[in-house]
Amino acid sequence: MTDSGAARSKAGFDYLIVGAGFAGSVLAERLASAGKRVLIVDRRPHIGGNAYDRYDDAGVLIHPYGPHIFHTNSREVFEYLSRFTQWRPYQHRVLASVDGQELPIPINLDTVNRLYGLNLTSFQVEDFFESVAEKVEAVRTSEDVVVSKVGRDLYNKFFRGYTRKQWGLDPSELDASVTARVPTRTNRDDRYFADTYQAMPLHGYTRMFEEMLSHPHIKVMLNTDYREILELIPHGHLIYTGPVDAFFDFQYGKLPYRSLEFRHETHDRAQFQPVGTVNYPNDYAYTRISEFKHITGQRHERTSVVYEYPQAEGDPYYPVPRPENAELYKKYEALARARRDVTFVGRLATYRYYNMDQVVAQALATFRRLEQEPARV
């Protein structure tokens, strides 16, 4: 990571990083620890990106941008983040409101037995799934994934309505990767994730990000559009974690995203629902309600929840996985590859439906690459 931008950065910074979420913050910390001077800017008034958390007016720790549950199979990612936080063990559980019952999701043995009034064993439920599964010659869509595993009835009850609300598209119009993320189990395991490491930052995500960005070589500017300071503050290499289409002024048109509207409520009782999240695949305009105290472990006489309403417009949250969108992204990817002075990293900059741990892993890999290459300015 030789400093070919030294002439410019002596009076400024070696790196300008756009976005103070996971991708930008991890890279800022790694580069600063390697002796580089880093300026990280974000247009929002806070660090942490969508993982930012804060205390609401009732004193309950909430996630303003919806629940962020940390889980990973990567020891490297978990040990890296452990430098900046202690952990509270937490295994997320989700119920789905279906046919007047709240049933475990992902679908497991209890889901099937309670839904259909059966008393199957783990071995028998395998036969049950085989008996209702539809033969699909080539699994291409999200609908194909589900009906080929658990059949049409479970697909209609648990997946079709939820997917249509979440994505504004029928599962038959979406890439198989969307529902492939959700497993089907033949045992009674009701954890939403099966990862090796499942925990929440003991004092919250914001505290973890504050520790990560506390290095003396890092300066943070909030409420700042990077374009406003690009020519004003001397810097070397640019690292960009925002939407890639916006960086190139939507040269080929907008990349499709789904957004979310959040409705937060506080209730005068200790608990609102039995688990962290309850999905509503078939009823109401919202997809799910999450209760934060389950997730954070906070003890409080009141409780706060969030309702999630998917929408087409607003801040970009989820890249829409369809073949035509992947083709459009390839055009932007080619522009990004041609920019030797900019590194693109993160969910929005690479148009990937990444979990938090995957973004951290991508940022760590990007740092190693920057270490090995001459500075690109």
φ, ψ of residue 343 in degrees (nearest 5): -110, 130
Tokens of 239: 């690292």
φ, ψ of residue 301 in degrees (nearest 5): -75, -20
- 3-state helix, strand, coil split of the chain in percent (to 5) is 35, 20, 45
Give me the pLDDT at residue 179, please: 80
Beta strands in 2-100 (DSSP E): 13-18, 38-41, 54-55, 61-62, 71-72, 87-89, 94-98
Question: pLDDT digit of tens for each residue in the chain (377 aa)?
Answer: 434 444 444 558 999 999 999 999 999 999 999 999 999 999 999 999 999 999 999 999 999 999 999 999 999 999 999 999 999 999 999 999 999 999 999 999 999 999 999 999 999 999 999 999 999 999 999 999 999 999 999 999 999 999 999 999 999 998 888 887 778 999 999 999 999 999 999 999 999 999 999 999 999 999 999 999 999 999 999 999 999 999 999 999 999 999 999 999 999 999 999 999 999 999 999 999 999 999 999 999 999 999 999 999 999 999 998 899 999 999 999 999 999 999 999 999 999 989 999 999 999 999 999 998 765 54
In 21-57, which positions are buried (b, 16+ CB within 10 angstroms) versus exposed (e)?
bbbbbbbbbbbbeeebbbbbbbbbeebbbbbbbeeee
Give me the pLDDT at residue 375, please: 53
**Distance (Å, rounded) from C-alpha 100 to C-alpha 118?**
17
Give me the pLDDT at residue 2, please: 39
Could you write out the DSSP letters of every residue in 232-291?
Answer: TS-EEEEEE-S-HHHHTTTTT-PPPEEEEEEEEEEESSS-SSSSSEEE-SSSSS-SEEEE
Taking CA atoms, 124 is separated from 110, 115, 127, 145, 185, in Å, by 12, 15, 5, 21, 12
Tokens 């499709």 map to which residue? 256
Give me the pLDDT at residue 177, please: 83
Domains and CATH numbers, the chain: 6-47+213-252+320-372 (3.40.50.720), 94-180 (no CATH)
- Mapping DSSP onto H, E and C, the string for 131-179 reads HHCCCCCCCCEHHHHHHHHHHHHHHHHHHHHHHHHHHCCCHHHCECHHH
> What letter would DSSP give residue 57?
T
Taking CA atoms, 185 is separated from 147, 182, 271, 377, in Å, by 15, 10, 28, 50
What is the reported pTM?
0.93
Tokens 């919202």 map to which residue? 286
Tokens of 98: 């279906």
- If DSSP codes are grouped into helix, strand and coil, which group holds residue 124? helix
Cis peptide before 106 (omega within 30 of 0): yes
**Distance (Å, rounded) from C-alpha 281 to C-alpha 284?**
8
Contact by Cβ (8 Å): 234, 9: yes
Tokens 């990444």 map to which residue? 354
